[in-house]
Amino acid sequence: MREVNIGGKQVGLRASPLALLFYKQEFDRDLASDIIRLRHIEDDPETFDALLFAQLAWAMAKAANGLNKPFPSFVSWLSTLDSFDVTDTSVIQAIADEAIDGFFRSANRPKEEGSGK
């Protein structure tokens, strides 16, 4: 879990299976597929999608909030933020890092010596 300041608010982010579910329910899209779409941002900055980062943050914030606690819809949550500075690379990187660390764990693990894995 990470904490990041988004629009003047401290927001907890948790890349968990609940975030996958919340994302699918709210946006009718697969969160992991959308993250994979972003992997070429450095090579092609035109693939950057600011709204996608806001959607990822919302789903992970809702997951961090817990299952039995009320949490606003995406539109309501966005309306509580003073801003969403897409040029703040620390915020964008924190959202991406939490998502990658949580949803693509095996890709981040070093290969075991001699295992071929």
pLDDT at 116: 47
Give yes or no for residue 107 having a pLDDT over 60: no
Determine the Cα–Cα distance for residues 111 and 89; give it in Å rounded to an integer: 29
Percent of the chain at pLDDT > 90 equals 54
Bigger pLDDT: 83 or 45?
A: 83
CB within 8 Å of 100: residues ≥ 6 apart: 15, 35, 107, 108
In the predicted model, is pLDDT for residue 115 greater than 70? no
User: In this predicted structure, what is the pLDDT of residue 111?
Assistant: 46
